[in-house]
Structure 1
Amino acid sequence: MSDIDSPTIESAAGNAANSTASNTTAADSPTGRLLGAADIRRIAADAGISPTKKFGQNFVIDPGTVRRIVREADVTADTHVLEVGPGLGSLTLAILETGARMTAVEIDPPVAERLPRTITEFMPQAVSRFAVVNRDALTVTPGNLPDFNDDASFTLVANLPYNVATPIILTLLERFANLDSFVVMVQKEVADRLAAKPGSKIYGTPSVKLAWYGTAERAGTIGRNVFWPAPNVDSALVRFTRTRKPSADAAKAAAEESLRVTTFRLIDAAFGQRRKTLHAALKHEVPASVFDNAGIDATRRGETLTIDEFTALARALEAQKAANTAEATA
């Protein structure tokens, strides 16, 4: 069984005794210090870690950048933070610097194993507020990541692997109803799509599905020179706030989830044939009468519809199916 199938959870405190790193670097200030380029390269060399394209690893080497991300996310000592893809700990330390509690999810076993030692060396007073889970973020659930189950809300702050950023965001929002906000660094083109509005050329499936959960906006760009190794693409920050809250009533929550599944299916079909009209793209999904019932012009293209319009179409479709079922059983 792989490391991903059998995740390990480690605290920095539990690894302090095994760390051979000196704590003198943390004495520079009462709260420790952040990683610079020389620190990143030393840690990587000591641990035998090389950035890999497989995991989309580009490590941030600029303290100002990680502090900016944390500031954009409004992280304070009262915040509970999830970080995905912590790498060698640049952003992790900036999060802990605020006094926040956090759990990092890291897919790469050697990187996950090394991270607690870095916290112990650079910010020893934060070891009790930190844990790392060796797991693929796409497999994370409230069952195997229980740290956040008792929270009314928590936030995601991350430099996401660019090749899987959108699936990670949508998966976490679907599985964790109490994930209320995030600030993530992603490829600039991905950031543009996530924050795109109806009618623009880059508005698509990620834009509409993210809008189901809440509102997203661009929060600035990041230069390539703050990474090691420097990526071949530009980066940007996306800030998100959740506005759709699940119902506490089990029946209503189940109905809402059914509506989400139907809505997302229509979104996938509409953008799967982006240049076609809704009538053509959804001909196997939506009868003509449903468009009329939803008040949607079937000659429009999917790229012009808001999430509310897609939801109205899905609701009308479910109502039509329910009516057909009732008629058939009458």
Structure 2
Amino acid sequence: MTDAPSTEPSGLLGAAAIRRLAAELDIRPTKQWGQNFVVDANTVRRIVRLAGVGEDDVAVEVGPGLGSLTLALLPEVSRVVAVEVDPALAGRLPATVAEFAPDLTGRLDVVHADALTVTTLPATPTALVANLPYNVSVPVLLRFLELFPSIERVLVMVQLEVAERLCAAPGSKVYGVPSVKAAWYGRARLVGTVGRSVFWPAPNVDSGLVEIVRHDTPRGDDEMRRTVFRVVDAAFAQRRKTLRAALSGLAGGGPAAEAALVAADIDPRTRGEQLDVDAFIRLAAHLRPHL
């Protein structure tokens, strides 16, 4: 893939159209909302292709911005639900779709809301496909996987460092809370990288494309998930500590933490970064009486 902005294919936004729309709205991308607009049509087409969505899918897109990815998604799915916090961008998106893809306007729903507070959507999503705002990418991803179990597949663009954490395996230096929590919901893979020059403004970091395919069978109910996530948070709160020490506060003391670890067939001297999600599930089951 080339990082240079492409010419503007039919129905998609190129660099010139992005800047025109931004000028019309007097918009300057803000760090507050983690805005970096994609100005390369090849990149959004690549995201849609990797997402593997089809005509039966309802794709939820968080942070559609000026509509680059939205316009690439609309021809491929039955519906796009675009969640946008910026009122100017949320208000302009339907007109942008009407201008560039007039036959597809009926497939778009725009939700003007903060993705971290939204609780319902106008259609049931089957896929999350988004260039996520970098400053809230992990919380948004985990929230949508929690709230909408109908989401079977995820393809998101995030900061490369975050992508590597989400997809890391136990024992890796970057394995941590996001890695375990993503694994609770599905199998995460880094399926590509994206250079800085496809964005406006260009960020200071490269980006990664993360695919998550949800497990066919849930690992547990909501109560179990909350318990497991509490254990995960405690295990990684101080990475240098053994699990016996890290979990003593949660368990009500070192002896109780050690007993739970031994019962879960885990060496109490182990550290959190050595456990996979299944081990955390076993451990949480034994710690549950203490929580």
Q: TM-score range by the shorter chain?
A: over 0.9
Aligned to 1:162: 134
Pair 1:42-2:20 in alignment: yes
Pair 1:141-2:119 in alignment: yes
TM-superposition CA deviations, 1:90-116 (whole Å, max 9, x none): 000000132531110000000100111
Aligned to 1:289: 259
Aligned to 2:279: 309
Pair 1:274-2:239 in alignment: yes
User: What are the ranges of 5 or more consecutive residues in structure 1 without an aligned counterpart?
Assistant: 1-27, 248-252, 323-330
SS in 2 for 1:237: strand
Partners of 2:266 and 2:210 lie apart in 1 by: 30
**What is the one-letter code of the residue matched to 1:135?**
A
**What is the one-letter code of the residue matched to 2:280?**
F
Aligned to 1:328: none
User: Among 217, 222, 226, which residue is 2:198 paired with?
Assistant: 226
Asked if 1 retains the 8 angstrom alpha-carbon contact of 2:185 and 2:218, the reply is no
Map residues 1-330 of structure 1 onto 2, 5 A cutoff: 32-142=10-120, 145-148=121-124, 154-243=126-215, 245-246=217-218, 256-286=221-251, 287=256, 288-318=258-288, 320-321=289-290
Partners of 1:264 and 1:244 lie apart in 2 by: 20
Using the aligned pairs only, state the percent identity. 55
SS in 1 for 2:29: coil
TM-score, normalised to structure 1's length? Answer: 0.81
TM-superposition CA deviations, 1:136-173 (whole Å, max 9, x none): 0011213xx2411xxxx600000000010000001111
TM-score, normalised to structure 2's length? Answer: 0.92
**What is the one-letter code of the residue matched to 2:175?**
Y
User: What are the ranges of 5 or more consecutive residues in structure 2 without an aligned counterpart?
Assistant: 1-7
How many equivalent residue pairs?
279
SS in 2 for 1:206: helix
SS in 1 for 2:116: helix
TM-superposition CA deviations, 1:24-60 (whole Å, max 9, x none): xxxx99xx51000000000111111111111111110
Partners of 1:210 and 1:98 lie apart in 2 by: 26
TM-superposition CA deviations, 1:298-330 (whole Å, max 9, x none): 110000000000000001122x459xxxxxxxx
Do the aligned partners of residues 167 and 224 (structure 1) sit closer, same or farther apart at CA in structure 2, a change above 3 Å counting?
A: same
